[in-house]
Amino acid sequence: DRIILPYEERAKLAVNPVAKQLFSIMATKKSNLCLSVDLTSAVDILDLLEKVGEHVCLVKTHIDIIEDFSDNFVTQLKQLAQRYNFLILEDRKFADIGHTVSLQYSKGVYKIGEWADCVTSHSLPGDGILKALNNVMDCANRGVFLLAEMSSAGNLISSDYTEATVKMAAKYPEAILGFVCQNKKTFNEPGFIQLTPGVQLESSKDELGQVYNTPEKVILENGADVVVVGRGIVAAKSPETQAVIYKDTLWKCYMKRISG
Ligand code: S5P
């Protein structure tokens, strides 16, 4: 059962090197917290990461919401990642035909492939999307989280879709870090990582369909390995204090889970 294995053990079972690295960073930093820095100012993002970088294993960006994007932002982001030992996930949610996705990944203003350790992708278009990413990425230091489920109310993903997504990933194991999903039954492979968003300290929802579960629920019941928190930290009065609270709470749940 993957969910009772410690991250150190799962690092050894991961095929993709970035997945190995993420498991190792979690074990070293004692943090399974992914911060979703959904802010629109580059300066604000860098300020925030200066304060909370030491507490997170992964930083998730939506690069296309930043109003003052520049290559210098990317340089500084990479420096912070190095200094605080976290990885960068660009939450691009690719969803087009393979050819278009390979261009979206490597070209344009953002040149995602140059700086993001990993990206998110939908499986909707079929396995051409993974073939494209696999071709354009260097899987020695890049990888993909595939969306197998979503957190939002009323999303159209069915259990058949989820199952087919996991099967699709099995065709490109060297490119895949794991799945964005909500349920521990989604996959068994211990070398893959379960990335779970839709988390706050109290279960609740926002006014646009987002559904929040608690750390206990997502880690102990639902099998989350890395937990994505956005507004729970970013919109707090003191994001730094709140990041520590999330980090400690999430880690305690993980420790409880692996101790059986
Ligand atoms: O199913 C999903 C998948 C993702 S990647 N539900 C999500 O909410 N996300 C992302 O996680 C979403 O795009 C956002 O960046 C983050 C959740 O942010 P929060 O502020 O609701 O915690």
> Which residue matches tokens 């691009």?
92
Residue 100: its pLDDT value, please? Answer: 98
Q: Is the pLDDT of residue 239 over 90?
A: yes
Helix 98-106, helix 128-136: angle, nearest 10: 30
Instruction: Taking residues 80-103, report their average pLDDT.
Output: 98
Long-range CB pairs of 9-12 (<8 Å, 24+ gap) are 9/190, 10/190, 10/191, 10/193, 10/225
Which residues surround ligand 1 with Cβ inside 6 Å?
36, 38, 62, 91, 120, 150-151, 180, 197-198, 210, 228-232
pLDDT > 90? residue 1: no
Coil, helix or strand for 93? strand
What percent of the chain has pLDDT above 90?
A: 99
- 84 Cα–ligand 1 center, Å: 23
Q: Read off the pLDDT of residues 188-205 as tens digits, 9 standing for 90 and up.
A: 999 999 999 999 999 999
Please report the atom of ligand 1 found closest to the CA of residue 232.
22
Contact (CB, 8 A) for 55 and 238? no
Do 189 and 223 touch, CB atoms closer than 8 A? no
Query: What spacing in Å lies between the alpha carbon of 36 and ligand 1's midpoint?
Result: 8
CA 12 – ligand 1 centroid, Å:
28
Report whether pLDDT(74) > 90.
yes
260 confidence band (pLDDT: 50, 70, 90): confident
Residue-wise pLDDT for 25-44, tens only, equals: 999 999 999 999 999 999 99
Is 210 annotated in some ligand binding site? yes
pLDDT at 168: 98
DSSP 220: I
Residues labelled as active-site residues: 91, 93, 96
**36: which DSSP letter?**
E
Residue type, 10: R
- Give the pLDDT of residue 252: 98
- What global pTM score does this model have? 0.99
Q: What is the pLDDT of residues 46-69, one digit of tens each?
A: 999 999 999 999 999 999 999 999
